[in-house]
A and B are shown apart, each in its own frame.
Chain A
Amino acid sequence: MSSRVPLTYGKKVLELFRNPKNLGRIEDANAEALAGSLACGDMIAIYLKIDESTEKIIDAKFESYGCAANIAAASILTEMIKGKNIQDAWKISWRDISNELGGLPPVKYHCSVLAVGSLKRAIRAYYANRSKPDWLPEELTQEEKHVIEEEKLMEILAKRIQKTEL
C-alpha cells in the first residue's frame, strides 16, 4: 500500500466541513489575520477576542476559502484555542491539528499549516502595538514561513502565466 495515497477525508473532517464551529467574524476582535490567497485556492481569516488582563482567548472565529480539509482545519483550530491563554495557543502545531482531525493525507497537510500560520499571524498582530512577551520568538516559525512561501509562489506563477501569453 505504500505507493497509494490514502483516502482523502475521514469522518471528523466531513462533519466539520458540514457543520463548522465558530464560523464568521468577530466585530470587536482585537486580533485578526488573513493567510493564503484566492490564487492559492486556500485562504483562512482568523478573528480573536483576547482578554487584555488575563491574556486568555475568550472568543475565536474563522472564515475560509478552500477545500473541505481547509475548512475543517480552521474550524477545529478555533475550538482548540478558545479558553486557552495566548502562549499555549501559540504552541499548537500543524501536526496537532492533523491529529485532532483524525489524520490528514500528506496532500492536505498544508491546510493545517495554513490554519496554524493564520493563528500565529493573528497573535503577532495582537502584540504589534503591545509589549512583546519573552516567549514570542522574533524569528518566523516553520508554519509562518510556509504560508509566506505559498503566497509568494502563487505570485510568481501568476506572473509567469501572464508573461507566456501572446
Chain B
Amino acid sequence: MTYSDLSKSIDELIKSHGLPKREVYLDHENSGLIIPEAIKAMNEAYELSGKGHPSITHLMGWRSYQALYEATVNIASVINCSPEEIVYTHSGTEANNLAIIGSSELSPKRKKIIVSSIEHLSVIFPAEKLEKRGFKVIRIPVDGEGFVNLDFLSKHVDKETLIVSIAAINHEIGTIQDLKAIRDIVRDKDDRILIHTDACDALGRIPLDMKKLDVDLASFSSHKVYGPKGVGALYVREGIKLEPIIHGQLSTQKLWPGVENTPSIIGFSKAVEIIHRNFEENVSKMISFRDRLINGILSNIDYTLLNGPLGYKRAPDNVNISFLYCEGEALTVELSMKGVYVSSGSACTSRVLEPSHVLLAIGRKYEEAHGSLLMKVSPFHTTLEDIEYVLEVLPDAVRRIRSLSPIKPKVR
C-alpha cells in the first residue's frame, strides 16, 4: 500500500460510515490527548526560548538552557526531588528501558530482577532481554484485583537481587499498589537493592513525593499527563549510578545523549503543572466520571465483570470491564462508528495472538480478557454528557456484537 492509497482508504472509510454525531475519546491509555496550555507553552518555546541547543555557549543556547532548567525545576518541585535527579528520555518506554537495562551492570554479583507479572511491556521486555543474557527474572504473581503478593516478594528478594520494579498504578486495571509496604520488604532484606516504580500512570492521579516514597528510580511519560507525546523522564535518586543505554554526543544530561527536545519538555512540564494546580478537584472529577461509567455499565448490561479493584485503591481515571460473549475488538470498532473511541485487551487489537497479560494474571479466562474494554476519563477532556452518551450507545453496541456470535448468553 502506498501513501496515497492509504490516505484514500481513510477518506473512503470516513465517507462510508459517516462522521458520528458526537465524538467521545476515552483512549487516554494508548494516547493521552494534549491540553491547550501545553501546546501554547510549546509554541512559545519553538518561537522563543527553546530554539537553541541547551549546551552550546551562545545566547540562544543559554536561553534554551534556562528554559529547560526552569521546566525541570517545575517538575522536580511537584515530585519533590532535585532537578539534577531528572533525566529526560523520548518516552515512558525509554525511561523504563533505561531503569532496567541501565542498572544491569551495577553489580556483577546481583543477577536477579524482580518484576510484577502485570508490568507494562516496556518493563517486561527489557527484563526478558536481560534474562536471555543470564539474569534471573522473577515475576511476582498478583491477586484477583492486581495487588502484588507481598509474601512471594518477601520470599524471593535476597542479596542477589539487583532491582525490584513494580508500577505505582497498573495501566490497564488501575490497581494502586502499596509501594510503602513493598519498599519496607525490600529495604529490610538489603538496602542496596534498587527499587524502581513505573509511575507513568500514577503522576497526576495520586500524590507522588520521591522523598516520601523513597524509591531509587521512577518513570514518567508526558502524554499520560496530557502533555505532548514522545517525552518521558526517569527520576534517578542522587548517588545511583546507571549506565547509559544509548550512546552519542552528550548535551546537558549524562544518561541520555543527543539534543534535548526542549520545546516538548517544556510542554511536558506545563502539563505536569496544570494537572497539579487543582489536583484534588481534578481527581474528584475523574472519580465521579469513573464511577458513573462503571455503575452505569454494570447495572445496565448483563454478563459484565469489573476488572481491578473498586474504590480508593483504584486509579481515579480507570474503567476496565469485561463483556462476556462479546469480542472486544469488534466492540471497539462498533463503538468507533458511534464516535466512541476506546481500547480492548482482546488479542485482536494487540497484533499478537494472546490477550492482555494483565487480565490473564488476575485470573481472567481467555474469553473474559478478549471481551474487555479499557476506558480512561480525563479531567480536561471528558464531560458528564460524554459519559451519558457512552452509557446510551454501549448497550446496543454490545447487543449487536453478541448477536453475531454462535455462543449466546442465556436470556435472563
Contact = CB atoms under 8 A, between A and B. Distances in A.
Q: Do A and B bind? A: yes
Contact of A65 (B12, B327, B349): B327
Given A39-B366, A39-B367, A67 B329 contact: yes
A14 B404 contact: no
Nearest to A44: B406
A128 interface: no
A65 B405 contact: yes
B327 A14 contact: no
Interface residues of A, number: 43
Nearest to B369: A41
Main secondary structure of the interface of B (DSSP, over half): helix
B13 interface: yes
Contacts of B354: 157
Contacts, number: 106
Contact of A9 (B141, B333, B355, B406): B333
Given A17-B333, A41-B346, A64 B1 contact: no
A70 B13 CA distance: 18
Contacts of A34: 406
Given A9-B13, A65-B327, A66-B327, A41 B347 contact: yes
Interface in B219-272: none
B407 to A, nearest CB: 6
A53 B253 CA distance: 80
A67 B327 CA distance: 7
Interface in B188-217: none
Given A45-B406, A166-B141, A68 B333 contact: yes
Given A7-B1, A20-B404, A154-B366, A67 B9 contact: no
Interface string A65-86: 1111111000000000000000
Nearest to B14: A11
Nearest to A65: B405
A38 interface: yes
A18 interface: yes
Given A9-B333, A157-B354, A66 B9 contact: no
A7 B17 CA distance: 17
A14 B17 contact: yes
A15 interface: yes
Nearest to B15: A11
Contacts of A11: 9, 12-13, 16
Interface size class of B (residues with CB under 8 A): 35 or more
Contacts of A153: 353
A23 interface: yes
Contact residues of A: prevailing secondary structure: mixed
B171 interface: no
A69 B149 CA distance: 39
A64 B12 CA distance: 26
A39 B9 CA distance: 32
A156 to B, nearest CB: 12
B351 A18 contact: no
Most buried by B among A44, A63, A150, A165: A63
B360 interface: yes
Contacts of A69: 348
Contacts of B411: none
Nearest to B403: A23
B348 A41 contact: yes
A135 B145 CA distance: 55
Contacts of B330: 17, 66-68, 70-71
B141 A43 contact: no
Interface in B333-359: 333-334, 337, 346-349, 351, 353-355
A72 B355 CA distance: 21
27 contacts: A7-B9, A11-B12, A14-B16, A17-B330, A17-B334, A18-B337, A20-B404, A34-B406, A38-B366, A39-B366, A40-B366, A41-B347, A41-B367, A43-B407, A63-B406, A64-B404, A64-B405, A65-B405, A65-B406, A66-B329, A66-B330, A66-B348, A67-B327, A67-B329, A107-B351, A153-B353, A166-B152
Interface of B: 1, 3, 6, 9-10, 12-13, 16-17, 141, 149, 152, 325, 327-330, 333-334, 337, 346-349, 351, 353-355, 360, 363, 365-367, 370, 404-407
